[in-house]
Amino acid sequence: MTDPEPNPLLATIAKKIDDIDRFMWDAAVALAVNAISGDYVEFGSWGGNTLRVAHERFRHAGTPRHLWAFDSFEGLPEATDPRDHHPGWRSGGAGQGGVEAFHATCDDHGIPRDAYTAVVGYYDDTLPALGATGAPTDVALAYLDCNMYSSTVAALAFLSPRLKHGMVLAFDDYWCWSADDVAGERSAFLEFVAAHPQWHFERFKEVNWGGTSFVVERADRLTPR
C-alpha cells in the first residue's frame, strides 16, 4: 500500500501553530523586557492550542501569567451581521463537547487547572455581566480568535476600559475577509480604532498567515515633547 498524499490544508494548519508559537514568544519576551504587567486574555479558546502556546511561552520567558479562556465551548453563535459571514465559519459546535472537554484538552496539553480560568458562555451574556471592573482587570496580551465580526465587537467592548499603554492586542483571523466586504475581526477593529482616538495601535508582529497584532500606545505620547 502506498502512503496517502500529504493533505496541504493540514500542513498549512501545522505551519500556523508554528507561526503562532513564534509570535507568542516575541510577545512574551517583549512584555517581560518592557515590564508590562497583566494576564493573558483569550477570546476563542476551544481546542486549547493557542492557550497551550501562551502557557509555554510565558513560562519560558520567565513571566508566567494567568490565562483567561473566554468561549461558549459550544461553537460559534449564529451570525447576526453581514460582516459575520465567512466561507470558512460554521455556527454551532457539534463535537466541541463543552467546557469539560476543554479541561481535558488542557490536561493533555499540560496546562494546570490553576493556571487558567475558563469563562463559559456566549460573549453577549458573559462579558456585560463582568462590566468594566470585573476580572481580568490587568491585561498584558489580549488574543482574539473568535472569528466573527459580532464576537470581536463584544470582545473589544470588554477590553475598552482595560486598554493600557504597552499591552498587546492580537487578532488570529485579521486577514479573513469575505468576497464582497471588509469582514470579521478586521472590520470590528477598524471601527474600534475610530472610536478610540486616545489610543494609538502600532502594528507589532504578524501572528500567522491569517492574523496580526498591535501594541497599544497612548496617542498623546506620540508627538514630540
Ligand X SMILES: C[S@@+](CC[C@H](N)C(=O)[O-])C[C@H]1O[C@@H](n2cnc3c(N)ncnc32)[C@H](O)[C@@H]1O
Which one of the spans 31-39, 74-82, 198-206, 213-221 is the region binding ligand X (CB under 6 A)? 74-82
Among 36, 145, 153, 204, which residue sits at the site for ligand X (rule: CB under 6 A)?
145
Stretch that binds ligand X, among 54-62, 73-81, 184-192, 205-213 (CB under 6 A): 73-81
User: 52 vs 199, which CB is nearer to ligand X?
Assistant: 52
| Count of residues that interact with ligand X, criterion CB under 6 A | 21
Among 23, 68, 116, 123, binds ligand X (CB under 6 A): 123
Q: Would you state the cell numbers that stand for residue 205, as one nine-digit string?
A: 508582529
Site for ligand X, residues 166 to 205, rule: CB under 6 A: none
For the chain, the first-to-last Cα distance in angstroms comes to 71
Taking CA 83 as the corner, what is the angle to CA 194 and CA 13, rounded to the nearest 5 degrees? Answer: 100
Stretch that binds ligand X, among 69-77, 78-86, 106-114, 187-195 (CB under 6 A): 69-77
Q: Which residue number, 36 or 118, has a Cβ lying nearer to ligand X?
A: 118
Contact 54, 140 (CB under 8 A): no
Q: How many CB atoms lie within 10 A of CB 169?
A: 23
DSSP state of 135: S
Q: Is 163 or 176 the residue whose CB approaches ligand X more closely?
A: 176
Q: Which stretch binds ligand X (CB under 6 A): 29-37, 57-65, 148-156, 206-214?
A: 148-156
Report in angstroms the alpha-carbon separations of 1 from 6, 10, 113, 138. 15, 22, 44, 56
Residue 100 C-alpha cell reads as 469539560
Which residues in 17-56 contact ligand X (CB under 6 A)? 44-50
Nearer to ligand X, 154 or 199 (CB): 154
Q: Residue from 21, 38, 58, 72 that binds ligand X (CB under 6 A)?
A: 72
Peptide bond into 136 cis (omega under 30): yes
Q: Of the candidates 56, 86, 68, 78, which has an alpha carbon nearest to the alpha carbon of residue 210?
A: 86
Alpha-helix residue ranges (DSSP H) falling in 61-163:
98-108, 123-130, 149-159
Give the residue, chosen from 93, 97, 134, 166, that forms a contact with ligand X under the rule CB under 6 A: 93
- Nearest CB to ligand X, comparing residues 158 and 199: 158
Cα torsion through 72, 124, 43, 176, rounded to 10: 100
Binding site for ligand X (CB under 6 A): 44-50, 71-72, 75-77, 93, 122-123, 145-148, 151, 154
